[in-house]
Amino acid sequence: MQIFTLFGIFALLLLIGVPIGTSVGFAAVFSIWKYGLGVTMISRNFASGIAKFPLIAIPFFVLAGILMQKAKLAEKISNLATILVGRATGGLAIAGVLTCLFWGAVSGSGPATTAAIGLTIIPVMIYQNYDKNFSAATIAAASGLAIIIPPSIAFIIYGNVTGVSVGALFLGGIIPGIIIGLFLMVAAYFISKKRNFRGIEKGGTVKEILMTTKDAFWALLAPVIVLGGIYAGIATPTEAAVFTVFYSIFVGFFVYKTLTLKGLYEALVGTVITSAVVMFVVTFATQFSIASAILGVIDIMAESIISIAKTPIAVLLLANLAIIIAGMFLDAISIIYVFMPIFIPILNYYHIDLLFFGIIFVVALAIGQITPPVAVNLYVAANLINSNLDKVAKEVWIYVFAVILGLIFLTFFPQISLYVPVASGLYIP
């Protein structure tokens, strides 16, 4: 009965259109009250749910991403990618994926990357006779790389829930992120070849490429500084996030001189709003996880999954499927808090590495950002071109298929996700 109360209320509220964070929170608080679990625990869990050092990195990475967008660093990265590969068949689509790959190492947020890169490269693609819905779908799909390539808000939340080193997760996401990016590029190429989507009319000369690279140097240096500091053991992810903010301000005001005081103010306001939404979901999702544990829901569901999936690979494939389906209806943060307490005892039972699972978990979450009805990246991309969501969604399914293939590949070869963290000495399986 308790499991039906908790998840039934949650599902009912979602069906009638209540925001996800509110649905999770109300279901949890109601269940705590109804079953006499101790109402006083709610206020304590509110504070403890967000009073954790790794979570401090979230607003700083959000602020750094917005500052770099205001300083037009995305435009400089886009210009470089376009001049390098834009002339080939599907070159602008591939350039869009490459730009999202680099920008993901700054932003950490799929919707933010969609907005930043979409404003820069979608108009260029449309001008070069690419279908506008295909252009929007390409950027929306590639922006999912932002939660795989470090720094990633999803990795920070996952590390907070599971206790896995956020730094190790960041390093673990590098190669898988590049692999997923390659799968997306292949899909973009074949669709572009089929529809005869060409690139820019003239490729850049050696001099132009060198000049564009020089202009984008400071933008390209940002992810190197973030990951280099963590990799070298100089800074924690939170400290690296703070440094990235100061780096963004320095580059925006004194190097490119494209950041203004008004832009800085708007970035601060945007960061407050975004961080508040994230922390709101974190707070109530924490309540949901705690209620699930106390009511025995986690044990029941874990035992059920173990009885169905008899091998580690079966567990992984079943988990992938569950996360992809959940991603159609829930945001990434809620999925982590709702599913991971259930998955952790199962993973321990089958001796599946939590860091490896975190990588494929987040790749599956990236699929959820482009699969309707939630599909936050698609909403942003459709709004950028003033198009209907359904039209953009029809163009995104080839990319969904490409990412699923990449996810299956990573699932069967866990050493890919573990290679960099283990080689760095930051993680011991």
How far is it, in rounded angstroms, from Cα 382 to Cα 331?
Answer: 18
pLDDT value at position 394?
92
Answer yes or no: is pLDDT of 319 > 70.
yes
As to burial, measured by CB atoms within 10 angstroms (0-12 exposed, 13-18 middle, 19+ buried), residue 289 is: buried
Tens digit of pLDDT for each residue in 188-220?
999 999 998 876 666 667 777 788 888 888 888
How far is it, in rounded angstroms, from Cα 44 to Cα 290?
Answer: 12
Q: What percent of the chain has pLDDT over 90?
A: 30
Residue labelled with tokens 């705590």? 32
How far is it, in rounded angstroms, from Cα 47 to Cα 398?
Answer: 43
Tens digit of pLDDT for each residue in 329-386?
888 888 898 889 889 999 999 999 999 999 999 999 999 889 988 788 988 899 889 8
pLDDT value at position 425?
76
For residue 320, give every residue at least 6 positions away whose Cβ sits within 8 Å of its Cβ, in sequence order, or none.
360, 364, 407, 408, 411
Answer yes or no: is pLDDT of 142 > 90.
yes
Query: In the structure encoding, which two tokens stand for residue 69, read together?
Result: 């967008």
HSE-up of 15 (CA within 13 Å, CB side)?
Answer: 6
pLDDT value at position 42?
67
CA 229, 234, 237, 243 torsion-angle sign: negative
CA 77, 186, 376, 297 torsion-angle sign: negative
pLDDT value at position 399?
96
Tens digit of pLDDT for each residue in 238-297?
888 888 889 889 999 998 888 999 999 999 998 898 888 888 888 878 777 777 777 777
How far is it, in rounded angstroms, from Cα 288 to Cα 282?
Answer: 10
Q: In the structure, what pLDDT confidence band is assigned to residue 24 with cuts at 50, 70 and 90?
A: confident
- Mean pLDDT over 142-150 rounds to 91
Which of 55, 114, 70 has its CA nearest to residue 267? 70
- Quote the pTM value: 0.86
SS3 (DSSP) at 146:
helix
Q: In the structure, what pLDDT confidence band is assigned to residue 400 with cuts at 50, 70 and 90?
A: very high
Round the average pLDDT of the chain to a whole number and report it. 85
